[in-house]
Amino acid sequence: MATEQFDVTIIGSGPGGYVAAIRAAQLGLKAAIVEKDKRLGGTCTLRGCIPTKALLMSAHVYEQMQHVADFGVQASEIQLAFADVQKRKEKVVMKNSKGIEFLMKKNKITVFKGTGRLALPGKVEVTGEDGKKQTINTRNIIIATGSVVRPIPGFETDGERVVNSDHILELKDVPKSLVVMGAGAVGVEFASVYSRFGAETTIVELLPRLLPIEDEEVSKELERSFRKRGIKSQVDTKLEKLEKTDKGVRLTGKTSKGEAVTLEAEMLLVAVGRAPYINGLGVEGTKIKVERGFVQVDEFYRTGEENVYAIGDVVPTPQLAHLASKEGIVCIEQIAGQKDVRPINLRHVPSCTYCDPEVGSVGLTEAAAKKEGYDVKVAKFPFSASGKARILGEEEGQLESTAEELGNTMHAHPTISEAVMEAAEGIHGLTIHI
């Protein structure tokens, strides 16, 4: 048993957990982190945001290099070195993880390697890879265990022909053809990556449009852009059966109108979301309430158990790294007794999808705002009218947002962000550049 007494112990070292630990140290609290992975950083750093964006960047450069003649640059025999793409991705991931390790040491945060389990009151049991156990004494506990790939019955992954978002990060070769099941952020990002790497790509979505939680006009614009890039969209379609073939997979299903759909590809990516990870955490028999897999908390992330909190993907808020970090800060400041700790307004949390073109949004969609009774006025500014976008040769992209703060912010020239200001000012009839 560890003889130290910690003020706060955080189970999980993702962007919610490690940021919470650093904020705790800054406020003079003695903090510990428990992490079952060999490296720190959680899903975001190891299997999510960071490696995915590294692949997206390589795909972006590869695509740009095929059009360098448009910029007056002559180049020939441009080839994709996919093994080197993967090496670069791993290097980026490793550097970020080591950076988190450095921050833990710098802030004198104790790291326990192993799987954490609640041993209430005031204790966390840690089981190492070798099976040895130790117990941490702690005044407060924060559950920040994140999420895992959500399994879909009938579409079980094998890491070869049927893969999930973890598997597809580690491919040795680019598949000749790829069906992506799910058109949320994960699905469209990987579709964007592998189509540019040369895979014939089709996205299948149960709902009527891509990125169904975004504004409808944004979805239409993205589908149009994907179509120009050769990415096919099969929306409003439910896949019902998966068969493995000699050449890959065969998928059958139906549209909402009952029309039969058959798709064949070398590989299927199942990208239908993530589920909270609380397996083995020991919430059973406690006052911690779990609904639909999510730990229920109040506005300051307190669970039903005294001095036990939960943040990030395990709670029913948007599964976004930057939100998890903010939740960690609010949680720690509450624990530390800071004055004027304010709950997070979820309407102010930005959503970002890093496909090509990129999509960003904040606040209610137009449809949601109208449903809530708001009198909605819409203005748009196309990147195709932006001087900077023309210079970059990237005249697509979409942001859905509200006007006042964006329009009142001074934007440097020439930048892509000027388009945001112009659209915001258009609400008040102040657009002057088109």
> Which residues are known to be catalytic?
413
Q: Among residues 146, 138, 272, which one has the least CA distance to residue 204?
A: 272
CA 262 to chain centre: 30
DSSP state of 245: -
What is the identity of the amino acid at 51? P
Q: Among residues 387, 375, 364, 376, which one has the least CA distance to residue 434?
A: 387
| Residue 320, phi then psi, degrees to nearest 5 | -130, 135
> What span, in angstroms and rounded, lies between the C-alpha atoms of 294 and 301?
12
What is the identity of the amino acid at 193? V
> What span, in angstroms and rounded, lies between the C-alpha atoms of 115 and 203?
36
CA 88 to chain centre: 20
What is the identity of the amino acid at 333? E
> What span, in angstroms and rounded, lies between the C-alpha atoms of 118 and 131?
17
Give residues with Cβ within 8 angstroms of 259, minimum separation 6: none
Three-state secondary structure of 167-208: HHHHCCCCCCEEEEECCCHHHHHHHHHHHHCCCEEEEECCCC
Indicate the SS3 state at residue 57.
helix
Question: What's the token pair of residue 246?
Answer: 């000699």
> What span, in angstroms and rounded, lies between the C-alpha atoms of 295 and 314?
6
Indicate the SS3 state at residue 12.
coil
Give residues with Cβ within 8 angstroms of 102, minimum separation 6: none
Task: Please tell me the number of Cα atoms within 13 Å of 155 on its side-chain side.
Answer: 24
> What span, in angstroms and rounded, lies between the C-alpha atoms of 378 and 97?
42
E strand or H helix at 233: strand 232-234
